[in-house]
C-alpha cells in the first residue's frame, strides 16, 4: 500500500490547496487528492471581486494561481474520487477509485455542490437547457432569453453575467427581496435586460428535446404562468460533498461539524472550507480554514507523538 502520509488532503479548492501549502511548509509528508483538477467552485465564478489584494480576478485565474503556488512545494497530487474512509487512529485508510492511501491525519476539503430542485423536467433537460453554472454554459445562450432561479449572491452574479450576452434574463425569486449583497443588487437593477420576477417559485421546466419554458407560480396570488426561455440556470444554494464521511458528526444541513480549529468528531480528521459548518462560505474563509486545519494537524501529531 506504500507510504503512510502525515496528512492526506481531500479536495483541491481554495481550502485544500491552502492546506497543501501550509502542510508542505510545515514539512509534513502530504498527499492531495483531487477529483476533477484544482480550483473547486471558484472555477464556476466569472469574477471574484472580494478576495483581498486581487480585485477583479477571474475565478479561473485565482484557482490557477493558488494551484501553481502549491506546485512550488513537494506535495504529491493524485487525481481520484474518494469513495470512503476507514477511520483508524494514526492510520486512516482513504479508499478511492484509483487505489487506497493511508494518512495519520485527513483533512476533508471537498466543499459543496449546487442544490438540485427536483422539478419536473429538471433532470431530463440538464445539459439541454438546464444548467447549474452560468459561467460554464452561458455562452450557449447568446442572444436568447433565459431564467435564473434564486436570490442569493450566486443567482444575482449569474444574472449579471448572463445579461452581457443574452437578449433577456428573468431572475425568479421566491420572496420580495433579494438575499444577495447590496453592491450586486445595485448592479443588477441597473441592467435594462433583466427582469426580476418576485414572489415566484418554479414548478416545471417545460420543453421538447430542449428547454422551451419555465412554469412558475406566484406564491401570493397563486397565479401560474410560463416564461418563454431556452435556458434555466438554477442557483439556489449548495449541498455539502461529504457522502464519503460516514462516522463524522454533521449538522442538520449535513455539513461536517467543526469550529475554527477544523477539528471534527473523529480523531485525526479535520474539516476545512465549505464542507464545514460555518457562518460564511467565501474564498477568504476557506483559505483561512486551510491554514487552521494544518495548524491543528500539527498539534494533533505532536500530542500523539506521531
Ligand atoms: P444562498 O446565499 O444560500 O442563496 C440561495 C438562494 O436560493 C436564496 O435566495 C434562496 O431564497 C433561494 N432558494 C433556496 N432554495 C430554493 C428553492 N427550493 N426554490 C427557490 N429558491 C430557493 O446561496 P448562493 O447564492 O449559492 O451562495 C452560497 C454562498 O456563497 C453564500 O454564503 C454566498 O454569500 C457565497 N458567495 C459569495 C459571493 C461573493 O461574495 N462575491 C459569490 C458567490 C457566493 P431565500 O433568499 O428566500 O432563502
Task: Kindly indicate the confidence band of residue 266, based on its pLDDT and cuts at 50, 70 and 90.
Answer: very high
- Calculate how far, in angstroms, residue 5's C-alpha sits from the geometric centre of ligand 1: 37
Provide φ and ψ at 199, rounded to 5°.
Answer: 55, 35
Q: What is the arithmetic mean of pLDDT over 210-223? A: 98
Q: What is the arithmetic mean of pLDDT over 105-132? A: 95
Q: What percent of the chain has pLDDT above 70?
A: 100
The CA–CA distances, whole Å, from 176 to 44, 61, 165, 197, 211 equal 27, 35, 26, 9, 26
Which residue among 59, 237, 273, 281 is best mutated to probe the pocket of ligand 1, counting the most ligand atoms within 8 A of its Cβ? 237
Catalytic-labelled residue, pool 49, 136, 246, 251: 136
274 noted as active-site residue:
no
- Calculate how far, in angstroms, residue 229's C-alpha sits from the geometric centre of ligand 1: 22
> What is the CATH architecture of 4-113+238-304?
3-Layer(bba) Sandwich (3.50)
pLDDT, residue 45, reads 79
- The Cα–Cα gap between 159 and 146 comes to 9
Provide φ and ψ at 145, rounded to 5°.
Answer: -105, 135
Fold of 116-234: FAD/NAD(P)-binding domain (3.50.50)
153 noted as active-site residue:
no
Provide φ and ψ at 103, rounded to 5°.
Answer: -130, 135
pLDDT, residue 61, reads 95
Nearest CA to ligand 1 atom 29: 281
Q: Which residues line ligand 1 (CB under 6 A)?
A: 50, 117, 149-155, 157, 174-175, 179, 181, 201, 235-238, 280-282
137 noted as active-site residue:
yes
pLDDT, residue 1, reads 60
Nearest CA to ligand 1 atom 23: 237
Q: Which residue has the cell 442572444?
A: 143
- The Cα–Cα gap between 63 and 287 comes to 12
pLDDT, residue 5, reads 98
Q: What is the arithmetic mean of pLDDT over 196-211? A: 97
- Closest ligand 1 atom to the C-alpha of 235? 26
- The Cα–Cα gap between 239 and 259 comes to 19
pLDDT, residue 293, reads 98
Q: What is the arithmetic mean of pLDDT over 277-282? A: 92
Whether residue 297 contacts residue 28, with contact meaning beta carbons closer than 8 Å, is answered with yes
- Calculate how far, in angstroms, residue 115's C-alpha sits from the geometric centre of ligand 1: 10
Rounded-to-10 torsion of CA 210, 213, 219, 224: -130
**Could you tell me the pTM of the whole model?**
0.85
User: Residue 85's beta-bridge partner residues?
Assistant: 94
Delimiting residues of CATH 3.50.50.60 domain(s) in the chain: 4-113+238-304, 116-234
Q: Which of 85, 8, 137 is nearest to 245 (CA)?
A: 85
Instruction: List the grid coordinates of 96.
Output: 478511492
Whether residue 195 contacts residue 171, with contact meaning beta carbons closer than 8 Å, is answered with yes
Which residue among 62, 135, 154 is best mutated to probe the pocket of ligand 1, counting the most ligand atoms within 8 A of its Cβ? 154
- The Cα–Cα gap between 10 and 25 comes to 18
Residue 153 has a CB neighbour count (10 Å cut-off) of: 20
H-helix or E-strand spanning residue 34: strand 30-34
pLDDT of 231 over the 90 cut: yes
Amino acid at each position: 500500500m506504500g507510504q503512510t502520509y502525515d496528512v492526506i488532503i481531500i479536495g483541491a479548492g481554495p481550502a485544500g490547496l491552502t492546506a497543501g501549502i501550509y502542510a508542505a511548509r510545515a514539512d509534513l509528508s502530504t498527499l492531495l487528492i483531487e477529483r476533477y483538477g484544482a480550483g473547486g467552485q471558484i472555477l464556476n465564478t466569472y469574477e471574484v471581486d472580494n478576495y483581498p489584494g486581487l480585485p477583479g480576478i477571474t475565478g479561473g485565474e485565482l484557482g490557477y494561481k493558488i494551484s501553481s503556488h502549491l506546485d512550488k512545494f513537494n506535495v504529491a497530487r493524485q487525481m481520484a474520487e474518494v469513495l470512503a474512509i476507514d477511520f483508524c487512529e494514526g492510520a486512516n485508510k482513504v479508499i478511492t477509485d484509483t487505489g487506497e492511501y493511508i494518512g495519520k491525519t485527513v483533512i476533508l476539503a471537498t466543499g459543496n455542490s449546487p442544490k438540485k430542485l427536483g422539478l419536473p423536467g429538471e433532470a431530463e433537460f440538464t445539459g439541454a437547457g438546464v444548467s447549474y453554472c452560468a459561467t460554464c454554459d452561458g455562452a450557449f445562450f447568446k442572444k436568447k432569453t433565459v431564467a435564473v432561479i434564486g436570490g442569493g449572491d450566486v443567482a444575482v452574479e449569474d444574472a449579471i453575467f448572463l445579461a452581457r450576452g443574452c437578449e433577456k434574463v428573468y431572475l425568479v425569486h421566491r420572496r420580495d427581496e433579494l438575499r444577495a449583497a447590496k453592491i450586486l443588487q445595485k448592479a443588477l437593477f441597473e441592467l435594462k435586460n433583466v427582469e426580476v420576477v418576485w414572489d415566484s417559485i418554479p414548478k416545471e421546466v417545460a420543453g421538447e428535446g430542449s428547454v422551451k419554458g419555465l412554469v412558475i407560480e406566484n406564491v401570493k396570488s397563486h397565479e401560474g404562468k410560463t416564461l418563454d426561455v431556452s435556458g434555466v440556470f438554477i442557483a439556489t444554494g449548495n449541498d455539502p460533498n461529504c457522502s464519503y464521511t460516514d462516522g463524522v458528526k454533521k449538522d442538520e444541513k449535513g455539513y461536517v461539524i467543526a469550529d475554527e480549529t477544523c477539528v471534527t468528531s473523529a480523531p485525526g480528521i479535520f474539516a476545512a472550507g465549505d464542507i464545514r459548518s460555518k457562518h460564511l462560505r467565501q474564498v477568504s474563509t476557506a483559505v483561512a480554514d486551510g491554514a487552521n486545519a494544518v495548524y491543528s494537524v500539527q498539534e494533533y501529531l505532536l500530542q500523539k507523538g506521531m
